Amino acid sequence: MVNAIVFDTPKNGPPSLHLIDQRRLPLETVTVTSTDHHDVANSIREMVVRGAPAIGIAAAYGIAIGSYEFTREKIDGAYPDWMEKVSRTLGKTRPTAVNLFWAIDRMRTLWSDLYAKGLTPLEITRVLYDEARSVHEEDISQNRSMGKFGQELFPESGSVLTHCNAGALATGGYGTALGVIRAAVEAGKKIHVFADETRPYLQGARLTAYELMADNIPTTLITDGMSASLMAKGKISAVIVGADRITRNGDVANKIGTYALAVLAHYHKIPFYVAAPFSTIDFVMETGNLIPIEERSSEEVTTIGHGNRVAPIGVDVYNPAFDVTPAGLITRIITERGVFKPQDLIHQIPSIQKTF
Ligand SMILES: CSC[C@@H](O)[C@@H](O)C(=O)COP(=O)(O)O
């Protein structure tokens, strides 16, 4: 399985974050290295790293790197002011996936607490390295738990449709939706995957197909428009996707095209599953229509691959990166704490504080 995020803290040198450049996969495996928080922010914005949990993990490392910069660059002013600036820079990269803000918040809670206790910025930095590593490691073990719970929903044999990439590349490792698929295969189930190519950015074709093939999981790549007829022919046993943000009422924002799949699954009476960790749940936002939906550049639609134009120059383009699937279309949400009906998820949270 690919290890897309590596953090390094050498004894005599700055910390660095090494990310597999997901824009170049599957044709090339190239690593982008960041040694300051601006580089990390650029990597998130430009989708070197993408997928909600992976963005959160990268941001956590970005905060730790930003903290180191305070000492290295001998920044004027107070440490908390600098750290808020770092947090804002990272928080402005992508608006939809709540894991980004969750991770920044988690890191803030720690550094502000340690600062209040009188630790020096260098001492705080060392603790932040460990905290970011914990964010990363916890994500992997949460994915494993999701896999364990979620795979029980799958039949002993059948075909599962997935959209975008919710795999090892989109997380700390193993994956959410693809983690459930992996766990089902590891449990001996005969699962065949249909992977939507996922226009316009082709995460399904470039990343999901690549990941599943590397694991020898039988996979067929289809274009997004083909799923309806596969369902009508009885070829799909279940749909499983990841999530970028889940609101209190169980609505789910995920890659554009997810909502269409949920409507189709409902029509064809096929179970529709969402796999996501609790860090993807926004416990403050009431409903999905409040979720900020990122709009990306027109070039993602008018070109394919690296700049091959497929539409007339000057054509008007609409390119929302995500859509919202209403809770009523979701059969179950698979989390690291178990499997829930979307509307029941909120009852699992005794008390959660959110500050952003
Ligand atoms: C485990 S990843 C879940 C989602 O983040 C994923 O399905 C998705 O929509 C990713 O979008 P992306 O724009 O590639 O960051």
Q: Where in the chain is the domain with CATH 3.40.50.10470?
A: 147-348
Q: Ligand 1, closest atom to CA 175?
A: 1
Is the confidence at residue 130, as pLDDT, over 70? yes
Whole-prediction pTM:
0.96
The closest residue, in CA terms, to atom 11 on ligand 1 is 51
**Per the residue annotation, which of 39, 139, 244, 251 is the catalytic one?**
244
Is residue 246 within 6 Å of ligand 1 at its C-beta?
A: no
Is residue 204 within 6 Å of ligand 1 at its C-beta?
A: no
- What is the predicted pLDDT for the residue at 351? 54
CATH number among 3.40.50.10470, 3.40.50.2300, 3.20.170.30, 3.90.1570.30, domain 147-348: 3.40.50.10470
* pLDDT one-digit tens code per residue, 33-57: 999 999 999 999 999 999 999 999 9
Is the separation of the CB atoms in 90 and 100 below 8 Å?
yes
Long-range contacts of 33-36 (CB under 8 A, 24+ apart): 34/62, 34/65, 35/65, 36/65, 36/66, 36/69
Is residue 164 within 6 Å of ligand 1 at its C-beta?
A: yes
Which of 249, 251, 253 has its CA nearest to residue 347? 249
The neighbouring-strand residues paired with 1 are none
Q: Is 203 annotated as a binding residue?
A: yes
- CATH number for the segment(s) 5-144: 1.20.120.420
* pLDDT one-digit tens code per residue, 306-336: 899 999 999 999 999 999 999 999 999 999 9
Three-state DSSP string of 26-68: CCCCCEEEECCHHHHHHHHHCCCCCCHHHHHHHHHHHHHHHHH
Is residue 279 within 6 Å of ligand 1 at its C-beta?
A: no
Q: Is 51 annotated as a binding residue?
A: yes
pLDDT band at 127 (very low <50, low <70, confident <90, very high): very high
Q: How much is the average pLDDT of 334-356?
A: 79
pLDDT band at 344 (very low <50, low <70, confident <90, very high): very high
Please report, as a single letter, which amino acid is at residue 152: E
> Predicted ipTM?
0.99
Angle between helices 177-186 and 121-151 (to 10 degrees): 50
Q: Ligand 1, closest atom to CA 254?
A: 9
Is 139 part of the annotated catalytic residue set? Answer: no
